[in-house]
Each structure stands twice: as structure tokens, then as C-alpha cells.
Amino acid sequence: MFTRCFLPHCPCESTSPQNSVIIDVEPSAAVNARDAQVETLVYRCLWDTQHSPCGMFIEGTSRDLLSHLRERHGVMHTADAELECRWSSCSMDKRLKMNSIARHIGKHLDIQFRCSRCGLTARDDVVRDHIRRNPACADAAVHLVPGSGARRIVSA
């Protein structure tokens, strides 16, 4: 069962399932959901800068994670800069290079990728390297395995 847009007198033709929940998403994710031919998955940002996790929902790609960290949390993008992970559940006590923070956050989000040929499941770069090095998997595709906290945007 679907319902119309929740805004009174809204001219849009948006519909969504009755059990849907309104969430605060990064604007780029909302645009991607509206224009996409495939589903848009988002994850709750738990970056904690003032003793309270962010809470905004963001897409899980490296580009989107880094963009969100820069625009919402003031994290700068110099490749050799080091920073501590401020994810609310992170127990890591060492600083990370900026070029590995998105991969590290992907672990918090439980995002993995799978080889379509043999089923190997790992980080994106590991699966791509596996496909490149293994002739039996040379024609395989890399498939996203969403983390358990993923939410699908059904209407933007």
C-alpha cells in the first residue's frame, strides 16, 4: 500500500510505502535517488564531533563519504594528512591517513563487495585485485554487499 506525499498541498506526485520513515539524507543522495535507475542505499553517519553522532544518512561510496566529512564535519582532503576516526563506536587508537579513512568507515558500515564468479567477499579493492589476478574470474563483476544498517531510499 502506498501513500501520497506527506506535505500538505504539495504538487509532487511522490508516493511511498505506508511503513516508510522520513530520514535526513545528504542532498546529493536525495538527488541520486530521484534520478537513479538502481536503488540508492544510505547509511547513518555516526561521526562524532561534539559528543553527539551526526545522524545524517549518506551514501557509502568513498567519494560520498569524503564529501560528507569535508562539507559537514570540516575534515580536509589532503592525502597525507592524518586524523583520528571519530566514528562513535570506533575503538582504534591510532591516526589514519586521509586516503584510507573512507575505507575504514566502510568497515564501520559493514560494506563489502563480492566477486560474481566465485563469491569471494571482501573490500572493493581486494575483490577488484582478485578479479584482475585470477583468470577464472576475469569476466566477473563486482557486486555490492550492503551493510546491515543500509536503508533504501524509495522516494526523494
- Domain ranges for the chain, please list them: 23-111+148-153
One-letter amino acid identity for 81?
A: A
Residue type, 130: H
Each residue's pLDDT expressed in tens, for the chain with a length of 156 residues: 444 554 455 445 555 555 667 788 888 888 877 776 778 899 999 999 888 999 999 999 889 999 999 999 999 877 778 899 999 989 998 999 888 999 999 999 999 999 999 999 999 999 999 999 999 999 999 999 999 999 988 754
Q: Any residues with CB less than 8 A from the CB of 36 and at least 6 apart, and which?
A: none
